[in-house]
Structure 1
C-alpha cells in the first residue's frame, strides 16, 4: 500500500531535504530511521525540496509498505527520530498518489523579527528597524498579476518552465514580528527568499514598486534583491485533492 507521511522539522542542522553526498539531510535521516523500524529499505518521495536551513511545519512524503504496522507507528518512529524531526500523521492514499505531483498548492511563511528576540534566534531573520509594510504589501499584490518568475529563480536551475500561479502574497505585523505568507501551485528554487529580499528593498526605499514590474519583466536573477536568509523560511502547508486520501 501507499502512504502519505505528514512531517515537520527544524532545518537548522541539515543541508536541506534532499540527500546529498557529503552532508546530512532530512530525507536521509527519515529513510534510515524508517528502514530500521520497519526492517525493510524505505524510500520516501517528498512534495518538495527545502534548501539548507529552511524549516517545515508541514511536508508530505509518500512511501510504499505492504506489511501491517505493529503498535503505534507514529509514537515508535518519533522515538527513533532526532528531536528536530517529527512525524505528525500517517494517511492511507490511493495506489498512484504522488506527494509531489498530486500537490495542488504549497504555502510558505517568512518570519522577520524587528526586535532582538532570544526565543526566535535562528528561527527568524533579525532586523533592527522595520521596513514599510504598506509598500511591501502593495508590491506583494503585484506578484499575483504575473506567472513567469524566472527573475526569482536560482541560476542554472534545470526546470521546464518558470511559470507559477501565485494566489496569495501578503505581509502581516504582530508586535515586533513581521510575517510574509505566499501560496502558489509550485515554487522555483530559492524563489521565496528572492521575493522576500526584493520586497525588503522596496520596504527600505532601496527600490520602488515600479521597479518590481521591471525586475519581473527582465527575467534576470541579477535584477532582483539578495535572497533573505534561509533560517526565516518555513514551508507551512501542502494541499491535495480530497480523492487522493482513503478514509482511515
Structure 2
C-alpha cells in the first residue's frame, strides 16, 4: 500500500533531506521512526545485508518481499533548509499497517501519525497520514513547489527566537530592483548559472512566479521586532540543487548595488556558474507548499514528468 505523509521540519540540525551515512537527515530520521513502529529493519541498518533493496534471500529460492520501501519526497531540501508542508510517500505491506492500531480505537492512518509524532524528535512533526490515491507519486505527480526566503536587511532587528528561520544582510536592499531581477526569472529557462546539475540531469526549469516584498510585523510574515522583513516567494514546476538560494544570493548582490540587472540577465542567458559568489545562507529558506492535480490526473502527471526529468528538487 502506498502511504502519503505530510510533514514539517526545522532543518537547522539536519544535513538535508536525503539520507547520508553517519549524518542526521530528515529522511533517515523518519525512515528509522517508521521502521521502529512497523517492526522492520530500517534501510540504513539493513545496508549490506540485502534488505535495503529487497534482494535478500531468506530461503535461497528468490527475493524476499520488501515490507517497507524508501521514502520518496516532493522536494529534497538542502542542509539547514526548513519545510512547513513537505510531502512524501512510502510503500508499506498492508499487514504491517494493521498492527499499528493496537488498542487506540482509531484508523491506521491516525494511529500511525500519532505514533510517529510520539517517537520523532520535536523538530520533525507529522501533519497528516493517509492512503495515497491511485497513481500518486510524491515527487513526479507534483504540479509545482513554492518556497519562501525570509531576510532581514539593513538595521532591521529580528526576534532572536527566529534566528534559525530568517537570514540577515547588513546592507539596506533595493526591493524594486530586486523585483526587476525576479521578473527575469519567470518562464522556462536554463538555470545552469544558479544550480548544480545531477548526473544526466537538467537545470531547465519553468518558474511560474517570483517576487520580493517587504512585510511589516503584522502583515502575516514571521513576526519580527523593531523592523520589517523581506520575503522572496518563488514557485516552479521543480527546482534544481541550490537553485533557490543561488537566485536569492544573486538578487541580494543586485539589490545591494554591487551588480546591476544586466549582470543577472547575462548569467541567465549564458548558463555557467563561473564567477558567481554562491547561494544565500540556508536558514532563511522554507518549502511551504507542494501542489498536485486532481486525483484522476495523478498517474498521467507522474508519467509525463518522469519522461522529462530525472533531477530532484531542491
Q: What's the TM-score, normalizing by structure 2?
A: 0.74
Count of residue correspondences: 244
Structure 1 match to 2:198: 157
For the residue of structure 1 that corresponds to 2:234, the secondary structure is strand
Runs of 4+, deviation exceeding 3 Å: none
**Cα distance in 2, alignment partners of residues 189 and 96 from structure 1:** 26
1:146 Cα shift? Answer: 4.3
1:145 Cα shift? Answer: 4.1
1:120 equivalent in alignment to 2:162: yes
1:82 equivalent in alignment to 2:134: no
Structure 2 match to 1:5: 5
Q: Which runs of 5+ in 1 are unaligned?
A: none
1:87-166 → structure 2 map (5 Å cutoff): 87-114=126-153, 115-117=156-158, 118-154=160-196, 157-166=198-207
Name the Cα RMSD after superposition.
1.7
**Cα distance in 2, alignment partners of residues 192 and 149 from structure 1:** 10
Structure 1 residues 129, 222: closer, same or farther in 2, change over 3 A? same
For the residue of structure 2 that corresponds to 1:11, the secondary structure is coil
**Cα distance in 2, alignment partners of residues 44 and 153 from structure 1:** 24
Structure 2 match to 1:51: 78
**Cα distance in 1, alignment partners of residues 200 and 257 from structure 2:** 33
After alignment, is 50-59 or 223-232 more displaced?
223-232
**Cα distance in 1, alignment partners of residues 187 and 88 from structure 2:** 31
1:39 Cα shift? Answer: 1.9
* Residue pair 1:116, 1:126 contacting (<8 A) in 2 also: no
1:83 Cα shift? Answer: 0.3
Deviations 1:34-74 (A, max 9, x none): 11112235331111211111111111110122133414322
Structure 2 match to 1:25: 25
**Cα distance in 2, alignment partners of residues 121 and 44 from structure 1:** 30
Q: Which runs of 5+ in 2 are unaligned?
A: 42-67, 105-110, 217-227, 300-314
For the residue of structure 1 that corresponds to 2:189, the secondary structure is coil
